[in-house]
């Protein structure tokens, strides 16, 4: 299926690995021109082929989201797509945390800066150039935890719940002007958050008396009641993100798509 993305200009945040890398790869394969924002490059990002520009950015800095968008407009002449993918543990933080009492005030501030406010700033910067081109598409990557609150990662889930709410509000304001805003809510995804040394697999293994391989293949899917019995792959998220960014989804806005292996059970 032709997604009608050839020549479109996209900004993807958190693009050097995981979901963001998969989204960037998929957009390039569809002929889009992509500005990939991340704190550092990666060999996997450098290996991608296509019309790609990496912009180093620390999205904890309030000025950086706007600078990334401005760079896309300057290099490619406008903006059609924004994928707010950057999120998860702020730099230097490992998750999960298991209790409401665990995060400090500073932890809460950093979590909201990274997972909500950076997206607010990116959307604020992206909307004017999208309006100048007659419309565009914004896709925010949230989490199933935004709709299924739990004591584990309470600060992260609260920040992402704000992001999910924000997308619906902005979609309502700008849909008449041609800008669609949607949310993709993953379950646990096999990314560095889980697999890196000291990451979620190791933390849960220590808490449950398991080993990290069992956590990734059995303990975590059972703990999160995943109907598929496995973690989600980044490409499975990317496929939905890119479809939502495409003109083929022209009547889809204000929606939240769960790509979570059956984590959310609610109707």
Q: What is the SS3 assignment for 186? A: strand
Integer Cα distance of 24 and 208 in angstroms: 36
Respond yes or no: is residue 174 known to be catalytic. Answer: no
**Catalytic residue (choose from 76, 112, 114, 156):** 156
Q: What is the DSSP letter of 33?
A: E
CB 229 within 8 A of CB 16: no
CB 35 within 8 A of CB 72: yes
DSSP letters spanning 77-138: SS--EEEE---SSPTT------STTSS-HHHHHHHHIIIIIHHHHHHHHHHHHHHHTT-EEE
Residues with a known catalytic role? 156
């Amino acid at each position: 299926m032709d997604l009608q993305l050839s020549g479109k200009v996209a900004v993807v945040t958190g693009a050097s690995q995981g979901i963001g890398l998969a989204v960037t790869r998929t957009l390039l394969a569809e002929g889009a021109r992509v500005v990939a924002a991340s704190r550092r490059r990666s060999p996997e990002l450098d290996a991608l082929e296509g019309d790609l520009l990496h912009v180093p950015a620390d999205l904890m800095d309030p000025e950086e989201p706007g600078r990334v968008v401005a760079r896309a407009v300057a290099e490619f002449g406008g903006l059609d797509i924004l994928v707010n993918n950057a999120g998860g543990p702020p730099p230097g933080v490992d998750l999960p945390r298991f209790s409401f009492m665990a995060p400090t005030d500073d932890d809460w501030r950093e979590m909201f800066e990274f997972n909500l406010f950076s997206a607010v700033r990116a959307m604020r910067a992206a909307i004017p150039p999208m309006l100048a081109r007659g419309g565009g598409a914004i896709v925010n990557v949230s989490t199933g935890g935004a709709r299924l609150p739990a004591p584990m990662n309470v600060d992260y889930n609260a920040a992402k719940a704000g992001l999910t709410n924000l997308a619906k509000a902005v979609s309502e304001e700008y849909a008449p002007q041609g800008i669609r805003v949607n949310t993709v809510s993953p379950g646990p995804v096999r990314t560095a958050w889980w697999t890196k040394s000291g990451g979620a697999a190791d933390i849960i293994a220590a808490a449950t008396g398991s080993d990290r391989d069992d956590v990734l293949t059995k303990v975590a899917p059972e703990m999160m009641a995943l109907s598929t019995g496995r973690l989600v792959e980044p490409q499975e998220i990317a496929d939905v993100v890119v479809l939502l960014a495409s003109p083929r989804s022209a009547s889809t806005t204000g929606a939240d798509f769960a790509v979570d292996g059956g984590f959310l059970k609610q109707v």
